[in-house]
Structure 1
Amino acid sequence: MTLTSIRTRAETPAATRASAAKVYTPYSGWFYLPSAIIYGVLFIVPTFASLYFSLTRWSLFESKFIGLENFKLFFSEPQLVKGFTNTLIFAVVTSGSKVVLGLLLAVLLTSQIVARGYLRSVVFFPVLVSTIGVGITFTVLMNPDHGLINGGLSALGIDGPGWLTDPKYALLSVAAVDIWKGVGLATLIYIAGIVSIPREYLEAARVDGASSWETFRRIVLPLSRPATVTVIILSLIGGLRSFELIWAMTRGGPGFTSDVIASVIYKQYQAGFYGLSTAGNVVLFIAVTAIVLPLSYFLNRKEVDL
């Protein structure tokens, strides 16, 4: 090795020499293979299979391609369209209520109150309870004749409505139960967002003489934006896919007044209309994707300005 080559090697940056010496190897890429196989078998293959079977009239043993007839039938049947509309109403009502109530409860449970830890446990407890168990319990409590809720209202001289038997109240009654069960998770997410706010901001606001409302509006609310986005997205997805609670409490009744897409799909499977129910699955998938992805992009692209 000549003196010139030695000098040139010494003048070459260490990072350049390291990158030149690095040899590409596919070894690390093989670690992705098990996850890719599981994802493909459990998600990609069923998704494309559903897309195909939604275009057919099929049974367990044969299928006949009929194009978009299942989708035309889905949107031409009033009860199916009603289920789609109810799904949107249910998702908006439950997600909006969880955002508002979750934020208010989180502000309360991060303040200096007595038994704060116990109250946090009480608020979060319904999240841990079985959805079917909650549905059955509230079905008994909301019984128009013998339920505890109407019994308490009757003691106050108020005639309670048929919470689950009156078409005007059935869907909203189930939504209220869903809010009661899910607000604990929203509260927990908000608590994590609020306690992560630097204390210097709150102390500075206190020194400047800001009221509690001004501190909440100008500091807590803007800096809780990531928690708000998370709660909105999770609640919307859960509301659009809701099935267990509605089925346990009303089975979509009375009539079709509390049906959602998921319960409509289940009823079509029960009746043997497999192609139509698969088309309903595709409609639900498209609806969730079309609502959640743009909303997530819109909410995440904004920055907090203090």
Structure 2
Amino acid sequence: MTDTLHARTQEAPASIDAPDRTRKARKRSTYPMWFYAPAGVIYGALFVIPTFASFYFALTRWTIFDSEFIGLENFKTFFAEPYLFESLLNTLFYATFTSGAKVVLGLLLAVFLSSQIIARGYLRSVVFFPVLVSAVGVGVTFSVLMDPFDGLINKVLAVFGVEGPGWLTDPDLALFSVAFVDVWRGVGLATLIYIAGIVAIPQEYFEAAKVDGANAWHRFWHVTLPLMRPATTTVIILSLIGGLRSFDLIWTMTKGGPGFSSDVLASVVYKQYQAGFYGLSTAGNVVLFVLVAAIIIPLFWFLNRKEVDQ
């Protein structure tokens, strides 16, 4: 009995001191949070504040010097644009086509460039190089190459007796042509993400599959592809966001033409800004922001939930 009381008296101070140690640990753990302050200030100044300001200015008729609150008039005018529905369809098509092509081509290139081939490092650099070039530079270069009369592409086709089409002057081909250039420019980033995912897969899985008699196709389908789901999610989300917001390449190559055949939401907004309708263009930016959020957030949640279920 005496030993029990003695043991309890020894344990009591430890239990009393425990909350104090917990509070001290919490105080120590919150100190590094101050290191987030500079990044938080920059993020708030460059993203949060302008985002909320754009929602307000979308409800006004504004210039650099003054603004007048007009409610939802800008949104009514924006949705009354005659070619808005066509530009919306172009935006969805462009984003879907480019993101899908980047997923498929990026995965195939990553598998090829992760195998034991000659000059593997050099080929990886070549594939990634277009990502480093500005979209404006790429657009200007391909505008020259795709010229229907003096472009190198049509001249090469003429050597083989094929009459090249108007890649950027044909309304049925203009958006496709820009989309192919976008895929050429952006597939390097998708390939890099997939290569990182492939390298992270433990080799034991492939060795076990070989022992079970799986050939190269079975190893790809049953080992590589399922374990690349996080990389695929990343590529899909990044490519879709880029495709929905795409402007610079389209504007450099076609300016939304011929006519309105390659107009996307971002180019419609820019044309309104060029015309001096600043409040209307701000409303268009808000619509584009809501569209991207409405597509990306549910898709991101769905893809991540499938990862957890797997």
Deviation per residue, 1:166-190 (Å, 9 max, x gap) = 1101111001000000000100100
Shift in CA distance, 128/29, structure 1 to aligned 2, threshold 3 Å: closer
Identity of aligned residues (%): 68
Contact 2:136 2:249 survives alignment (8 Å) = yes
Q: Gaps (5+ residues) in structure 1?
A: none
Other-structure match for 1:251: 255
Partner amino acid, structure 1, of 2:252: A
Shift in CA distance, 282/304, structure 1 to aligned 2, threshold 3 Å: closer
Partner amino acid, structure 2, of 1:47: T
Deviation per residue, 1:118-138 (Å, 9 max, x gap) = 111111111111211111100
Partner amino acid, structure 2, of 1:228: T
Contact 1:222 1:304 survives alignment (8 Å) = no
Deviation per residue, 1:257-294 (Å, 9 max, x gap) = 11112211111111001111001100111011111111
| The one of 199, 207, 210 aligned to 2:211 | 207
Contact 2:230 2:307 survives alignment (8 Å) = no
| The one of 95, 99, 115 aligned to 1:95 | 99
Secondary structure of 1:88's counterpart equals: helix
Distance in 2 (alpha carbons) for counterparts of 1:277 and 1:285: 12
**1:19 to partner: Cα distance:** 3.5
Task: Give runs of aligned pairs for residues 22-41 of structure 1, distance below 5 A.
Answer: 22-23=23-24, 25=27, 30-41=34-45
Partner amino acid, structure 2, of 1:273: F
Task: Give runs of aligned pairs for residues 151-190 of structure 1, distance below 5 A.
Answer: 151-190=155-194
Shift in CA distance, 55/9, structure 1 to aligned 2, threshold 3 Å: farther
Question: Does 1:144 pair with 2:148?
Answer: yes
Secondary structure of 1:253's counterpart equals: coil
Distance in 1 (alpha carbons) for counterparts of 2:308 and 2:69: 51
Question: Does 1:49 pair with 2:63?
Answer: no
**1:35 to partner: Cα distance:** 3.2
TM-score where L is the length of structure 2: 0.91
**1:4 to partner: Cα distance:** 9.9
Secondary structure of 2:122's counterpart equals: helix
| The one of 285, 290, 294 aligned to 2:294 | 290
Deviation per residue, 1:35-71 (Å, 9 max, x gap) = 3332222222211111111112222222222222211
Shift in CA distance, 128/20, structure 1 to aligned 2, threshold 3 Å: same
Deviation per residue, 1:212-248 (Å, 9 max, x gap) = 2111111110000010000001101111111111111
Partner amino acid, structure 2, of 1:205: A
Shift in CA distance, 95/14, structure 1 to aligned 2, threshold 3 Å: farther
Partner amino acid, structure 1, of 2:58: S
Deviation per residue, 1:143-179 (Å, 9 max, x gap) = 0001011111111111111000111011110010000
| The one of 189, 193, 199 aligned to 2:197 | 193
Contact 1:74 1:81 survives alignment (8 Å) = no
Shift in CA distance, 168/240, structure 1 to aligned 2, threshold 3 Å: same
Distance in 1 (alpha carbons) for counterparts of 2:252 and 2:290: 26
Range with greater deviation from structure 2 (69-78 or 159-168): 69-78
Partner amino acid, structure 2, of 1:201: Y
Question: Does 1:78 pair with 2:52?
Answer: no
Question: Does 1:277 pair with 2:281?
Answer: yes
| Number of matched pairs | 304
